[in-house]
Amino acid sequence: MKAAILVDLNQIAVKEVSDPVCGECEMVIRPESVAICGSDVRIYRFGNDRVFPPTVIGHEIAGTIIEVGNKVTNFKVGQRVVLGADVPDMDTGRNYTLKGQGNLCPENLAIGYQLDGAFQQKMKLNENTVKYGPIVEIPDHVSFDEAALAEPLACAIHGFEMARMSIGKSICIIGLGPLGCMMVELTKSYGAGKIFAAQRSEKRLDMARKFLSAVDATFISTEEEDLVERVMKETNGEGVDVVITAAGTVKAQEDAIRIVKKRGVVNLFAGLKNQPKLEIDTNLIHYKECTVLGSHGSNQPDVEKAMTLIAKGDIKTKKYISRYFPLDDIVEAIEYHESRNGMKVIIKPQQ
Ligand SMILES: [Zn+2]
């Protein structure tokens, strides 16, 4: 079988490797559609302290179970499944695992990080993943391509739930990459009131505007105008109930804390990489009695909800896919992702 091995920074080699050997408590998946995540690109360019090359990355996965160990009883060969990325760790994170908060386990085990990813033709799931991992069946009428985006959608859902998003609340999403756009669409499922969608680069903003034409959102170019001024003006100086930063910049985080309403919630969703530290007058938080929290990754119930929304057609993930690449062209696919000319890129490992 073929695998795209991340050998070192900026170095992926697609080569023949031997098939995984399935232990009696393990399973083997044939990945059919695997989306490239921004974090895959960051791992490829800058590395990650949870990724140890040589390894295989890729964690937005839809595939088929092709081998099941003889002690595995809850899955069978032929099942079509999606995987969440964060895997609970019963060894070192028992309490979090039992509470359904696997993304908080001490080592934050994740597929495509410490665990084998899906940019390969067969991937093995170890015993812990088979027992406790977020593995969700794909309904028959949903394609692998559509299902592959359940993982990022699950992260968006997790972000909304952490931010206590609910009917009637106003919301501002800062950053309109694929995840930010998914969040803007997700506001419909959560019955949002007024919706603001902010983005700095004009190219992305134009794309998002066309892309999200069905959502009644106020689009704001933070290149052209001051986000804080505009949102405050549009909300009679009150601000919004929920602000989610889907752009990993200090500026987005600062603005978020400024535009959140009294008693509102800010979710610092996007992590900061190579950015200065946030310096903020904490009296803003004190006097507004607002909540500033974070969220990362997802858990099994989030993946299930994502699959439900995709299956119902509430979030049409297909339209997020801009291009498809075979496994051999994975480097080209990463470079296309970096060009920011499209939304999501799908790798087809079997082609
Ligand atoms: Zn991802």
CATH of domain 164-294: 3.40.50.720
Tokens of 326: 């075979």
CB 269 within 8 A of CB 245: yes
Q: What's the gap in Å between 263 CA and the centre of ligand 1? A: 30
Q: Is residue 27 within 8 Å of residue 68, measured between CB atoms?
A: yes
Which of 227, 118, 110 is CA-nearest to residue 173? Answer: 227
In eight-state DSSP terms, residue 261 is E
Ligand 1 center–CA 104 separation, angstroms: 16
For residue 153, the CA-to-ligand 1 centroid distance in Å is: 9
- Say which residues have a Cβ less than 8 Å from residue 105's Cβ, sequence separation at least 6: 88, 89, 92, 93, 96, 97
How far, in Å, are 92, 96, 127, 247, 280 from residue 17 at the CA level? 31, 35, 22, 37, 51
Domain boundaries, the chain: 2-152+298-348, 164-294
CA of 239 to the centre of ligand 1 (A): 30
Sign of the CA dihedral running 202, 275, 119, 87? negative
Query: What is the CATH architecture assignment of 2-152+298-348?
Result: Alpha-Beta Complex (3.90)
CA of 276 to the centre of ligand 1 (A): 24
- For the chain, 351 residues long, give each residue's pLDDT as a single digit of tens: 999 999 999 999 999 999 999 999 999 999 999 999 999 999 999 999 999 999 999 999 999 999 999 999 999 999 999 999 999 999 999 999 999 999 999 999 999 999 999 999 999 999 999 999 999 999 999 999 999 999 999 999 999 999 999 999 999 999 999 999 999 999 999 999 999 999 999 999 999 999 899 999 999 999 999 999 999 999 999 999 999 999 999 999 999 999 999 999 999 999 998 889 998 899 999 999 999 999 999 999 999 999 999 999 999 999 999 999 999 999 999 999 999 999 999 999 999
C-beta neighbour count of 329 within 10 angstroms:
17
- Same fold: 2-152+298-348 with 164-294: no
Closest to 238 measured CA to CA, from 181, 193, 175: 193
Residue 217, class by beta-carbon neighbours within 10 Å (0-12 exposed, 13-18 middle, 19+ buried)?
buried
Statement: the pTM of the whole predicted model exceeds 0.95: yes
Residue for token pair 């739930």: 161
264 CA distance to ligand 1 middle (Å): 27
Distance 87 CA to ligand 1 centre (A): 13
pLDDT of the residue at 274: 82
Q: How far is the CA of 236 from the centre of ligand 1 (A)?
A: 37
The full DSSP string for 127-162 is: HHHHHHS-EEEPPTTS-HHHHHTHHHHHHHHHHHHH
Distance 173 CA to ligand 1 centre (A): 18
Distance separating alpha carbons of residues 257 and 284, to the nearest angstrom: 7
